[in-house]
């Protein structure tokens, strides 16, 4: 059962909850948590000092990683929402990243909480396209677009 305090990632089945970006079971990962805010999705994340690129600013790979997992989580939630289904219902919708595009618009400061806001651009068949903005103190510093595709049964074989 989904409650208003739950993050999408709280509902990932254990076999997809190890992801470095979003897996709640990965103690070394970012463990991002994403929720709906109306028709947008929101993740808040505070970088650590070791996420540095240029001193004082966040590493671009971190930003890309946050956009990636924020967007795949948003894709899954959007698919459940479109189907009128609870995120714990079966069979699960599991998404992987087909494509990740990131524009770094401004340096992203390290010492503030980042807000990621996602919008569902398209849902078509097994594909969901999500656009995600990264905001630092209300200023958009990066923008990404992710094509998330439902994991085929043959994934990895
Ligand atoms: C609650 C549980 C949550 C579970 C959530 C779990 C969260 C884990 C998040 C992990 C995030 C990651 O790092 S995932 C790890 C990194 N990613 C991967 O390893 C994925 C590796 N790639 C693949 O396995 C495959 O290429 C796939 C699954 C992405 C796509 O292969 P496919 O399944 O054969 O796809 P296919 O039928 O050809 O295409 C379906 C549609 O997607 C489009 N499409 C496919 N690939 C691309 C692409 N690279 N760029 C653009 N678009 C693409 C096609 O044009 C088509 O659109 P149309 O013609 O219908 O319009």
CATH code (residue 136): 3.10.129.10
Q: Whose CA is nearest to atom 23 of ligand 1?
A: 98
Token pair 């909850």 in the structure block, residue:
17
Instruction: Tell me the mean pLDDT in the region 86-97.
Output: 92
User: Distance between CA atoms of 121 and 74, rounded to whole angstroms?
Assistant: 11
| Residue 65 tokens, joined | 């990683």
Per-residue pLDDT band for 83 (boundaries 50, 70, 90) equals very high
- Interval 125-152: pLDDT, tens: 999 999 999 999 999 999 999 999 999 8
- The answer to whether residue 1 is domain-embedded is no
Q: Is the whole model's pTM more than 0.90, yes or no?
A: yes
Atom of ligand 1 nearest to the CA of 68: 11
- The answer to whether residue 157 is domain-embedded is no
Name the nearest CA neighbour of 102 among 136, 130, 139, 75. Answer: 130
Three-class SS of residue 157?
coil
Domain range spanning residue 49?
8-150
Distance 56 CA to ligand 1 centre (A): 34
Q: 115 pairs with which residues across the strands? A: 44, 135
- The answer to whether residue 77 is domain-embedded is yes
- 19 close to ligand 1 (CB < 6 Angstrom): yes
- The answer to whether residue 104 is domain-embedded is yes
- The answer to whether residue 155 is domain-embedded is no
Substitution site in 96, 118, 131, 148 for ligand 1 pocket (most atoms within 8 Å of beta carbon): 96
| Residue 157 tokens, joined | 């074989």
56 has a pLDDT exceeding 80: yes
- The answer to whether residue 156 is domain-embedded is no
Query: What's the confidence (pLDDT) of residue 157?
Result: 67
Instruction: Tell me the mean pLDDT in the region 47-73.
Output: 98
* Number of structural domains the chain divides into: 1
């Amino acid at each position: 059962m989904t409650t208003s305090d739950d993050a999408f990632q709280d509902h990932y089945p254990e076999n997809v909850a190890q992801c470095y970006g979003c897996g709640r079971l990965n103690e070394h990962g970012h463990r991002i948590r994403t929720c709906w805010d109306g028709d947008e999705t929101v993740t808040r994340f505070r970088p650590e000092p070791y996420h540095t690129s240029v001193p004082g600013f966040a590493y671009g790979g971190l930003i890309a990683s946050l956009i990636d997992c924020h967007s795949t989580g948003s894709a899954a939630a959007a698919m459940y929402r479109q189907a009128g289904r609870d995120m714990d219902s079966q069979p699960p919708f599991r998404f992987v990243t087909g494509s990740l595009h990131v524009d770094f618009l401004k340096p992203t400061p390290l010492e503030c909480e980042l807000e990621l806001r996602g919008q569902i651009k398209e849902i078509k068949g097994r594909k969901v396209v999500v656009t995600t903005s990264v905001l630092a103190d209300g200023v958009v510093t990066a923008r990404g677009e992710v094509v998330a595709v439902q994991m085929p049964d043959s994934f990895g074989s």
